[in-house]
Structure 1
Amino acid sequence: MLTTLKRIVDEVNRQPVLEKALERVAQLAKQTMQTECCSIYLADHDNRHYLLMATDGLSPNSVGSVAIGFDEGLVGLVGEKEEPVNVANARFHPRFLITPQVKEDAYNSFLGAPIIHQRQVVGVISVQHSTQSFFDESKVAFLVTLAAQLGSAIAHAEARDALDRAEHPELKSRARSLKGVAGSSGIAFGHAYVIQPHISFADIVPRRTHNIGREIVRFKQAVKKTQQELKVLSVKMSSILPSDTSAIFDVYHYMLNDDTLGERVQEQIHSGWNAATALKIVIEELCSEFSQMEDSYIRERVTDIRDIGQRVLINIIKKELSKRPIPDKVVLVAEEVTASMLAEIPREQLQGICSVRGSNNSHAAILARALGIPAILGLEDLPLTNLDGRETIIDGYSGQVFFNPDSVISKEYQVLLVEEQELEELVQSIADKPAETKDGTQVSLAINTGLAADFEVVRGIDADGIGLYRTEIPFMVRNCFPSESEQCALYQKALDAYPGKSINMRTLDVGGDKPLPYFPIEEDNPFLGWRGIRMTLDHPEILLVQVRAMLKANIDRGNLQILLPMITSVQEVDECLRLIKQAHAELEEELQRTLVKPKVGVMLEVPAAIYQIGLLSKKVDFFSVGTNDLTQYLLAVDRNNARVANLYTYYHPGVLEALKFIANQCHKFNTPVSICGEMAGEPIGLLILMSLGYRKFSMSAQNLLKAKWILRHISLSDIADLQHKVSFETDPEAIKLIVSEKLDQLGLGGFIRAGK
């Protein structure tokens, strides 16, 4: 069964046209289940009906024309119940819908299963038979399993289809957007620039071509380049491997020289596909053919076929990518956006970010907010290949991205962009004003940083220092650990940016979604693994060098504070304090002078730490709440996993209760506390935190002025009842709605949606 299932799902991924893929699935499912009919309906949520997209058994003329309402027929019932419906005699069922054009008079029994993707019914697959009997359990299990497998495959294919329609204006009446997770607010216009370190056939979005001659030349050049690479590899490996093992390269050469492969690819190009798509079609057809052979030796050649095809594909794509210039306005698109990728693009050209992986608080989102550019993450169904160069609009409020948008969408967003710029000019007018509420309550607003660009952004803005200096970012964009002197120079710039104001430097916090390319950490569950203080305590040489650099940078400045990440126990704090004391003593002896001892704080982000606030307060000088990781650990949600990104929210009642508990405990033990997580940079989060009693916040430089504007336009009396109101709600969306309505009442709604 597993082999059959895999084969059917592979058909969806292999076929470049969705309709053809579904047609093949219907044929294979009917054949496997030994039924007389199999049909596939896809959901149209705009028109609230299921459209018959493929069938093997009903009238072929009904495909694409028969629509069944969400509340009609047995197909509609499957969608409503979101579970299989097994009926022995469909004609006597109260939900049976007579549809003459499908010509199903011969069928009595019916079995349907919902096709679900990300909690939404995207279609229904059904089988029918002339006998009046229930389908047995094994057939029900098979259809349910098949439907579950089809969900993501169909969603991915529909995303490809949306892009194809965007590329051909005559095929669309209205531009379709792809939906992800809003990672950084704002609107951006630009051209997609895809950085794709790994290229595979699964990434290839089928594309047509009108220039057949050019595509044939591209294919032949890629084959020639691959042959040259294999020749070099063959010579290199022949001196290492036995002759019978290295002979595999002879097989590869034979396959590349075989006219069959070249002829089949060129046939596909002549039928209108570009070189990459044609190669994909042929290689996957060959793999399918070989895997069904009885001879085991021939079946094993599937791996060789796929490998050689992969090598040719890379050379097709590489040649194309190497020639492309960086657009004037870049929307960076990648499987997962990293700090090093951002460093490759000139800041003035970078307009926005689209990432297949990640959520609203993955490291990419945090970097985007630091840079002040919109970002959309968790675009699970985004086909990367062939997006390059497309006109792109990003809506960082709703999480929508449009590729090759139509004129209507472009005009709408141009208007919203102008309003955004007007709002930006408005908040700039209070840059030098203090952060305080209308009734005079003083609030501390500092910045989260790690990028040199942040210091430029906040120049001229009255900020209360740096609440979180992410020291890992300079580590991440290098090829090796920075030296003590290099670190010292970086830290001096940060300390000099705000003379006399506190600069909280977090010790190296890597692991999880912040890898170092030269110090890879391979783990099954990195967010629960070797990260933050755990790693640096295991490598005291790294921590000691970093602390020495911080202490050196603090000479004649005196505004350094050290922040310890991922603390789970008092023992970890004791060990850190011992190492800080050691570095301090070493430097005093080395420099023959007395050095200021910086204050030391702990990040409250691991749930265990918040229940040790009383014990920890005896050891450290202050606390800083990392709402990003605290939320992740409280909800057991990987904030980089797009599949559960919708479960990650600061506004979960459990998270708000934890934040309330922290505020009360810190007050009880008389220890200063601030919020350094991204929650404070969101208008909704800021109001809730204020209502919980927090008065010290740090956030991205781009959000600081907006936060200041909001604070200067509210009074504590305006939000006095907010904590009480949200405490009765169990749904995070209901909590957000309450605070959103409050912002609207205060005339501040323009900070939570596009426009003013």
Structure 2
Amino acid sequence: MLATLRRIVLDFSQETELQSALERMVTQVKSAMNTDCCSIYLADYHYQHFVLMASDGLAINSLGKTCIGFSEGLVGLVGQREEPLNIANAQEHQDYIHAPEVQEDDLNAFLGTPIIHQRKVLGILTIQQEQARHFSETEEAFVVTLSAQLASALANAEVRNLISSQQDHIQQNKQLQGIAGSSGIAMSQIVVCQPQADLSTVSLKKVTNLAAQHERIAQAIDKTRNDFTLLSEKLASIVKDETLAIFDVYQQMLAQVGIGQEISDKINLGWRADSALKMVIEHYISQFKAIDDAYLQERASDVQDLGNRLLFNLRQQEQQSRALPKEFILLAKDVTASMLAEYQHKGLQGIISLSGSNNSHAAILARSLGLPAIMGVNALAFVQLDSQQAIVDGYSGELFINPDETLVQEYQYLISQEQALTEKVMKVANLPCITTDGRAIEILLNAGLSEGFEHSGNLGALSIGLYRTEIPFMDRSCFPSEQEQTQLYRRVLNAFPKHAVTMRTLDVGGDKSLPYFPITEDNPFLGWRGIRITLDHPEIFLVQIRAMLRANQGIGNLEIMLPMISNIEEVDEATRLINQAYFELKAELKTQLLEELVKDLYDKDLSIELEHKAEAISQQLMKPRVGIMLEVPSVIFQLPELAKRVDFFSVGSNDLTQYLLAVDRNNSQVANLYDSFHPAVLRALYAIAQESAQLLVPISLCGELASTPAGALLLLAMGYDKLSMNSHNVPRIKWVIRHVSFEQAQDILSHTLTLSSTNDVHDYLNEQLETLGLGGFIRAGY
């Protein structure tokens, strides 16, 4: 049964045309279940009905024409209930609707199950039989399992169908839905950045120039053969001969009578080289997995390894010959910081990522760069989107493929409105951030996400509220030296010499890794990260603290912030190490001073010189203020104890939201559950602000919540002293705060805290922003 399931799903996913895939699938299911009829209905949310798309058993002339409303008939009932419906005699059921055109009068038994992908019903799969009976538990389990496995394949097939139908001008302005990651609009051509080698990402495409495809696969096979030969030779001296036999197996499979010939046969049928490779390799994998022998089943991974190696060499050919358009939208399975660093100066207009949420690292970086971004797009066949014209709507999370002229004109108007709003808010960039009734709040920068000097003062930020020190660690092959760190930190501190600059100590782990210090964990966000790593490696921590203290000499504006604090002991240990670094450095400077004095002992008055030098040391080497990030929920209940140990608190709302809601903010499967406007998060933030005020500890917030207009108003009303955000949003938030009164913000907060659902919070806050004349910050064109 499992082998049958795999075969049906694999055949479905390999078919390039959605209609052909549906027709083949219903025939296979009917045969596998030995029933009289199998049909599939697809949901059309525009018209709110299910369309009979394919059937083996119902009238052929009804396909594509018979429609059943979402609230009508047994098919509609399955969609409404979102669960299987097993009926012995369907025609006697109260919800049964007679549709003479489908010719199902002889069919009695009915089993229907929804096909659901990411909480959305994509369609209904039905099984019918003349005999009036309930389908067995085994039969029902088979259909339910099949529907669950078909869900992602169907979503993938709909993406392929979307592209082909656009090209045929059958449909217009179809869109894919993602998560709004960074506001703004981009219109340009898509450039797909593919992973090095993952057959699951390859989409099936046909071409006309077959000779070129034969040449490509031949080159890839030759390169792969050479790779295996070199690998075998390198390993021969350290592993047993029988272990190296796998390389001989690979070589045999690549022979002209093996996989290589089968790939060539597929190319002769019109398939691209990578598509032919995918079909052949996946066919072999399914055959091996269907064998009962455990040893032979394991060989499926060997075949996949071979396929990925071939794909890697094919991709290398493409990368060497590809030229970027002048302007483009970057699409990748997982957009990374390194990708953005590579492409941001080459015409990058927007970002589409299949993974991540609105607070994943890529989305945060996109906002700092002012690039529209959509995260968590459901497009498994994303390679087929390459070179397609698209509109990225970073406000709604919609991605339009090959839009028509009317839609293009509409979005061009919205872009012009965005530009007008930007010009307007820049007029207040260098004015004080103060409400209409005189309440002031400091607007600071989140800096350090890229090597660019994004912390310039021309956008109106008072200083830096969060400097992420990990980026210089990430873009290297080893830990940076104390001298290298000192030079970097001094440049940052000198950017705002009259205001405090808050530097966070090394915060790696979770979704931030160092190539030379790998961390492999099952659950990295709950694992070894932040202060936990640096306290376990004091040699790393002490070098960084010493570099910060050296950089601060003669400037005196450094503040140190400790990340991922979860208990008092971590603060005490970190404070001990900071004191150790301070006194060690002070002793070194004194020693250096004495050595200098000895050299010119006969030229100067020693006692006067010592006094002046000692005074200079005490002035230049200052002990910085030390604070902690409040991002682990446990510290919310330890604020009084922590207040006795640190100088300030700073809430990291991104991680605090993640931990309070138990949602991985990089996981697109649950990204819709991650929301900093969740009532529990807002109430926690309010409680933190209230208690910090009672304890007389300054409180700031450096998460992405601060960079949203509604979030900034709520935090202002809660009593946060400082808000830190990316440079792009500094003038926008200034404009918002300068156009409301503190009393209005408090009224909005009071009502918001009474709301019980995230949707209610968003609806209310959007309504209030529109009432205040700030709707343009929610959506361009308001």
| TM-score, normalization by structure 2 | 0.92
In the alignment, is residue 681 of structure 1 matched against residue 679 of structure 2?
no
The residue aligned with 1:359 is: 357
In the alignment, is residue 474 of structure 1 matched against residue 472 of structure 2?
yes
Q: Equivalents in 2 of 1:478, 1:163: separation in Å?
A: 40
Matches within 5 A, 1:121-520: 121-166=121-166, 168=167, 170-259=168-257, 261-289=259-287, 302-347=300-345, 349-451=347-449, 455-456=453-454, 458-520=456-518
Match of 1:551 among 546, 549, 552: 549
**What is the CA deviation profile of residues 184-204 of structure 1, one whole-angstrom value per residue up to 9, with x for unaligned ones?**
111123333333334222111
1:318 aligned partner, one-letter code: Q
Change (3 A) 1:299 1:675: closer
Match of 2:717 among 668, 691, 707: 691
**SS of equivalent to 2:587:** helix
In the alignment, is residue 599 of structure 1 matched against residue 597 of structure 2?
no
Q: Equivalents in 1 of 2:338, 2:246: separation in Å?
A: 37
Change (3 A) 1:609 1:267: same
Q: Equivalents in 2 of 1:203, 1:261: separation in Å?
A: 20
Q: Equivalents in 2 of 1:112, 1:199: separation in Å?
A: 38
Q: Equivalents in 1 of 2:297, 2:724: separation in Å?
A: 60
Kindly indicate whether the alpha-carbon contact (under 8 Å) linking 2:454 and 2:727 is maintained by their aligned counterparts in 1. no
In the alignment, is residue 585 of structure 1 matched against residue 550 of structure 2?
no
**SS of equivalent to 2:189:** strand
Kindly indicate whether the alpha-carbon contact (under 8 Å) linking 1:189 and 1:329 is maintained by their aligned counterparts in 2. no
Kindly indicate whether the alpha-carbon contact (under 8 Å) linking 1:337 and 1:364 is maintained by their aligned counterparts in 2. yes
**SS of equivalent to 1:643:** coil
Structure 1 position 388, deviation (Å): 3.5
The residue aligned with 1:563 is: 561
Q: Equivalents in 1 of 2:472, 2:351: separation in Å?
A: 20
Structure 1 position 565, deviation (Å): 0.7
Change (3 A) 1:67 1:253: same
Q: Equivalents in 2 of 1:557, 1:211: separation in Å?
A: 66
Kindly indicate whether the alpha-carbon contact (under 8 Å) linking 1:371 and 1:454 is maintained by their aligned counterparts in 2. no
Kindly indicate whether the alpha-carbon contact (under 8 Å) linking 1:358 and 1:641 is maintained by their aligned counterparts in 2. yes
Structure 1 position 30, deviation (Å): 2.6
Using the TM superposition, name which of 260-269 and 111-120 deviates more: 260-269
1:311 aligned partner, one-letter code: R
Structure 1 position 15, deviation (Å): 2.7
Kindly indicate whether the alpha-carbon contact (under 8 Å) linking 1:606 and 1:633 is maintained by their aligned counterparts in 2. yes
The residue aligned with 1:753 is: 779
1:153 aligned partner, one-letter code: A
The residue aligned with 1:711 is: 737
The residue aligned with 1:624 is: 650
1:41 aligned partner, one-letter code: Y
**What is the CA deviation profile of residues 124-169 of structure 1, one whole-angstrom value per residue up to 9, with x for unaligned ones?**
1111111111112222222222222222221122123223334x2x
In the alignment, is residue 58 of structure 1 matched against residue 58 of structure 2?
yes
**What is the CA deviation profile of residues 451-506 of structure 1, one whole-angstrom value per residue up to 9, with x for unaligned ones?**
46664574323322111111112212222211111111111111111111011101
Change (3 A) 1:625 1:97: same
Structure 1 position 663, deviation (Å): 1.0
Using the TM superposition, name which of 633-642 and 717-726 deviates more: 717-726
Match of 1:613 among 635, 639, 654: 639
Q: Equivalents in 2 of 1:681, 1:573: separation in Å?
A: 28
**SS of equivalent to 1:8:** helix
Matches within 5 A, 1:533-544: 533-544=531-542
Q: Equivalents in 2 of 1:27, 1:560: separation in Å?
A: 70
Match of 2:574 among 570, 573, 576: 576
The residue aligned with 1:645 is: 671
**SS of equivalent to 1:159:** helix
The residue aligned with 2:83 is: 83
Kindly indicate whether the alpha-carbon contact (under 8 Å) linking 2:445 and 2:463 is maintained by their aligned counterparts in 1. yes
2:245 aligned partner, one-letter code: A
1:601 aligned partner, one-letter code: G
Structure 1 position 411, deviation (Å): 2.2
The residue aligned with 1:95 is: 95
Kindly indicate whether the alpha-carbon contact (under 8 Å) linking 2:447 and 2:455 is maintained by their aligned counterparts in 1. no
Q: Equivalents in 1 of 2:452, 2:296: separation in Å?
A: 59
1:746 aligned partner, one-letter code: L
**What is the CA deviation profile of residues 51-98 of structure 1, one whole-angstrom value per residue up to 9, with x for unaligned ones?**
222323223443333222212221111001111111111111122222
In the alignment, is residue 532 of structure 1 matched against residue 530 of structure 2?
yes
Change (3 A) 1:216 1:478: same
Kindly indicate whether the alpha-carbon contact (under 8 Å) linking 1:343 and 1:477 is maintained by their aligned counterparts in 2. no
Q: Equivalents in 2 of 1:401, 1:139: separation in Å?
A: 39
Structure 1 position 401, deviation (Å): 2.2
Q: Equivalents in 1 of 2:285, 2:102: separation in Å?
A: 36
2:356 aligned partner, one-letter code: G
Structure 1 position 300, deviation (Å): 6.2
Q: Equivalents in 1 of 2:302, 2:524: separation in Å?
A: 33
Q: Equivalents in 2 of 1:300, 1:521: separation in Å?
A: 28
**What is the CA deviation profile of residues 622-661 of structure 1, one whole-angstrom value per residue up to 9, with x for unaligned ones?**
1001110111111111111111111111111111110111
Q: Equivalents in 1 of 2:63, 2:264: separation in Å?
A: 31
**SS of equivalent to 1:414:** helix
**What is the CA deviation profile of residues 687-710 of structure 1, one whole-angstrom value per residue up to 9, with x for unaligned ones?**
121222224211111000000011
Kindly indicate whether the alpha-carbon contact (under 8 Å) linking 1:371 and 1:453 is maintained by their aligned counterparts in 2. no
Q: Equivalents in 2 of 1:499, 1:298: separation in Å?
A: 68
Structure 1 position 685, deviation (Å): 0.7
In the alignment, is residue 728 of structure 1 matched against residue 754 of structure 2?
yes
Kindly indicate whether the alpha-carbon contact (under 8 Å) linking 2:698 and 2:721 is maintained by their aligned counterparts in 1. no
Q: Equivalents in 1 of 2:175, 2:468: separation in Å?
A: 34
Match of 1:657 among 671, 683, 688: 683
Structure 1 position 17, deviation (Å): 2.7
2:482 aligned partner, one-letter code: E
Q: Equivalents in 2 of 1:602, 1:301: separation in Å?
A: 51
Structure 1 position 618, deviation (Å): 0.5
Kindly indicate whether the alpha-carbon contact (under 8 Å) linking 1:37 and 1:56 is maintained by their aligned counterparts in 2. yes
2:697 aligned partner, one-letter code: T
Q: Equivalents in 2 of 1:367, 1:569: separation in Å?
A: 30
**SS of equivalent to 2:512:** coil
Structure 1 position 16, deviation (Å): 2.8
Structure 1 position 262, deviation (Å): 4.4
Q: Equivalents in 2 of 1:299, 1:471: separation in Å?
A: 47
Change (3 A) 1:383 1:245: same
Structure 1 position 208, deviation (Å): 2.3
Q: Equivalents in 1 of 2:455, 2:639: separation in Å?
A: 35
Q: Equivalents in 2 of 1:7, 1:598: separation in Å?
A: 65
The share of aligned pairs that are identical, in percent, is 50
2:125 aligned partner, one-letter code: I
Using the TM superposition, name which of 12-21 and 149-158 deviates more: 12-21
Kindly indicate whether the alpha-carbon contact (under 8 Å) linking 1:112 and 1:125 is maintained by their aligned counterparts in 2. yes
Q: Equivalents in 2 of 1:523, 1:302: separation in Å?
A: 26
Q: Equivalents in 1 of 2:145, 2:296: separation in Å?
A: 30
Q: Equivalents in 1 of 2:322, 2:230: separation in Å?
A: 28
Kindly indicate whether the alpha-carbon contact (under 8 Å) linking 1:84 and 1:114 is maintained by their aligned counterparts in 2. yes
**SS of equivalent to 2:749:** helix
Structure 1 position 239, deviation (Å): 4.2
Q: Which runs of 5+ in 1 are unaligned?
A: none
Q: Equivalents in 2 of 1:58, 1:260: separation in Å?
A: 42
Change (3 A) 1:298 1:515: closer
Kindly indicate whether the alpha-carbon contact (under 8 Å) linking 1:339 and 1:476 is maintained by their aligned counterparts in 2. no
Q: Equivalents in 1 of 2:331, 2:278: separation in Å?
A: 22
1:699 aligned partner, one-letter code: M
Change (3 A) 1:628 1:518: same
1:513 aligned partner, one-letter code: D
Structure 1 position 575, deviation (Å): 0.3
Change (3 A) 1:752 1:202: same
**What is the CA deviation profile of residues 345-402 of structure 1, one whole-angstrom value per residue up to 9, with x for unaligned ones?**
2436332222121111111111112222122111243434344443333211111223
The total of aligned residue pairs comes to 754
